[in-house]
């Protein structure tokens, strides 16, 4: 298919060297954010302590342990929402994958606190009222204010926790996981009111109630603004549409997207970042799937390249020119600004469809001639995407380009320290940008560390959901 879009200098290249303090900001922001979350948890513990006159019996100890677990779970809910609100400062400094890992870890703690809260409260109340556990459970669910809604919300939350476990998540498509995860918001809403109606901290203190409302409404406002209002404004301003769909390799297609005022979007976007894309076509509108730009952003078009790995990605090959596009982003910190002010050698290490963000970086990442290397791993020659483009860029930039082609049965594991050192004897002096399937990135990360590359110079952003 003949392209209808021309070649342009990338916005990254026009911006010049990324002498930005972003890497330093990340080193400061990560511990500061975790410290703020920890401080909030201490405030919650103080809230429980200041409203607990005394604990004088086993039943009281059990009940108060349940109260404290419930308060901490209630605090964790809006914190986890804020982590995934896609706040630009957090997302573009810390990276979406790091925030997602914190969210997943916090989610496990929250589910554990919820389970402990439920079991300890039932047990403590049963001991206090001299009831059986089943009878006490029925009393709490059907006779305490807002407890029936809270029970439904708790069951929803536990269900989402179950499908979010790694073993279960691998069996789900991204779209199914996404829709199920939306139930978390419903669960938080349903469980919110029982905290205020039954929690001694809120019944006895108007100030505590105001703080709790502020925490939850603030989280809701951030979600509504950054995940709904901002993408809607972006859609109206840029009027993105599909310009062309081009086959690149077996099962791999590029989608070219045009619109209005793309120069503004290009200036706000860096090579290596991604958007969450929705297309006005059946089955593609509701779930926003993350796809990286596969070419540097420029004022005339954006390009994403997608491999057929599921229903959503396969359907992109059937998009028609003119289809309306809704983009949310840009997101991610997998950019040249991971190495602020740093000069020297860079290795881009790609496998499979992980070539997409590295293809954009290969063209635009600032480096002197001879200091930039791309190593591209593929099982077959036919699986090499952008081969002509990569070779043209390598010639123009004086960069080195290596292919590692062949199945493991034929060539063994190519991503080993000795293989990489054979290609780059000075590998330890390189910054490394790494992108590919989960197993490949884990193997490559271990090989790089074995080869002596400092961990702080290995840059990786996971797109696993």
* Residue 40 maps to a domain: no
pLDDT band at 175 (very low <50, low <70, confident <90, very high): low
Residues 312 and 436 both lie in one domain: no
- pTM over 0.85? The answer is no
Q: What is the pairing mode between strands 430-435 and 345-351?
A: parallel
Residues 353 and 292 both lie in one domain: no
Give the three-state DSSP class for 313: helix
Nearest partner of 55 among 67, 47, 44, 43, judged by Cα: 67
In the numeric block, the tokens 């840059």 are attached to 459
Residues 224 and 241 both lie in one domain: no
Query: Which pLDDT value is given to residue 179?
Result: 73
Read off the pLDDT of each residue in 324-329 and give the average, rounded to a whole number: 91
Nearest partner of 377 among 398, 400, 348, judged by Cα: 348
For residue 308, the domain's CATH number is: 2.40.30.10
Residues 158 and 270 both lie in one domain: no
Total domains in the fold of the chain: 3
Read off the pLDDT of each residue in 181-197 and give the average, rounded to a whole number: 89
Q: How far is 76 from 70, CA to CA, in rounded Å? A: 10
Query: Which pLDDT value is given to residue 258?
Result: 95
Residues 179 and 196 both lie in one domain: yes
* Residue 453 maps to a domain: yes
Share of the chain above pLDDT 90, in %: 49
Give the mean pLDDT of the chain.
Answer: 86
Residues 315 and 295 both lie in one domain: yes
Q: Last residue of some domain: 230, 253, 276?
A: 230
Residues 86 and 158 both lie in one domain: yes
Range(s) of the domain holding residue 380: 339-460
Query: Which pLDDT value is given to residue 341?
Result: 60
Residues 186 and 309 both lie in one domain: no
Residues 63 and 212 both lie in one domain: yes
SS3 content of the chain, % helix, strand, coil (to 5): 60, 15, 25
Residues 428 and 290 both lie in one domain: no
* Residue 32 maps to a domain: no
Q: Last residue of some domain: 278, 309, 331?
A: 331
Residues 199 and 60 both lie in one domain: yes
Residue 6 predicted with pLDDT over 50: no
* Residue 41 maps to a domain: no
* Residue 178 maps to a domain: yes
Q: Is residue 279 packed enough to be buried (19+ CB in 10 Å), middle (13-18) or exposed (0-12)?
A: buried
Residue 72 predicted with pLDDT over 80: yes
Residue 85 predicted with pLDDT over 70: yes
Residues 138 and 205 both lie in one domain: yes
């Amino acid at each position: 298919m003949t392209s209808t879009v021309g070649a342009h200098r990338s916005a990254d290249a026009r911006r010049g060297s990324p002498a930005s303090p972003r890497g330093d900001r990340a080193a400061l922001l990560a511990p500061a954010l975790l410290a703020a979350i920890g401080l909030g948890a201490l405030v919650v513990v103080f809230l429980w302590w200041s409203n607990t006159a005394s604990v004088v019996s086993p039943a009281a100890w059990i009940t108060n342990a349940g109260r404290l677990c419930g308060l901490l779970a209630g605090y964790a809910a809006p914190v986890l929402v804020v982590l995934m609100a896609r706040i630009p400062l957090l997302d573009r400094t810390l990276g979406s994958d790091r925030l997602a890992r914190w969210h997943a870890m916090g989610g496990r703690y929250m589910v554990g606190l919820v389970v402990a809260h439920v079991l300890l409260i039932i047990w403590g109340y049963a001991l206090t009222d001299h009831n059986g556990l089943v009878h006490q459970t029925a009393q709490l669910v059907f006779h305490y204010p807002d407890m029936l809604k809270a029970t439904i919300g708790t069951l929803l939350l536990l269900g989402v926790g179950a499908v979010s476990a790694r073993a279960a998540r691998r069996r789900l498509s991204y779209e199914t996981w996404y829709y199920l995860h939306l139930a978390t918001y419903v669960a938080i809403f349903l469980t919110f009111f029982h905290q205020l109606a039954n929690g001694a901290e809120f019944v006895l203190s108007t100030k505590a109630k105001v703080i709790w409302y502020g925490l939850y409404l603030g989280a809701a406002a951030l979600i509504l603004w950054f995940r709904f209002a901002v993408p809607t404004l972006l859609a109206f301003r840029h009027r993105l549409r599909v310009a062309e769909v081009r086959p690149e390799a077996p099962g791999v297609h590029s989608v070219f997207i045009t619109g209005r005022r793309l120069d503004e979007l290009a200036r706000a976007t860096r090579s290596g970042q991604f958007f969450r894309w929705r297309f006005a076509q059946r089955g593609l509108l509701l779930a926003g799937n993350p796809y990286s730009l596969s070419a540097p952003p420029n004022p005339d078009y954006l390009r994403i390249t997608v491999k057929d790995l599921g229903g959503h990605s396969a359907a992109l090959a059937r998009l028609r020119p003119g289809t309306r596009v809704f983009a949310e982003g840009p997101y991610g910190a997998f950019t040249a600004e991971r190495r602020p002010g740093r000069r020297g050698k860079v290795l881009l290490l790609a496998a499979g469809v992980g070539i997409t963000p590295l293809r954009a970086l290969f063209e635009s990442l600032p480096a002197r001639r001879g200091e930039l290397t791309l190593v591209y791993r593929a099982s077959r020659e036919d699986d090499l995407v952008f081969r002509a483009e990569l070779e043209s860029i390598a010639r123009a930039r004086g960069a080195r380009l290596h292919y590692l082609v062949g199945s493991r049965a034929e060539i063994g594991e190519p991503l080993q320290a000795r293989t990489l050192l054979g290609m780059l004897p000075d590998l330890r002096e390189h910054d490394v940008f790494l992108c590919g399937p989960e197993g490949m990135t884990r193997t490559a990360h271990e090989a790089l560390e074995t080869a002596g590359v400092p961990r702080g110079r290995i840059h990786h952003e996971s797109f696993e959901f």
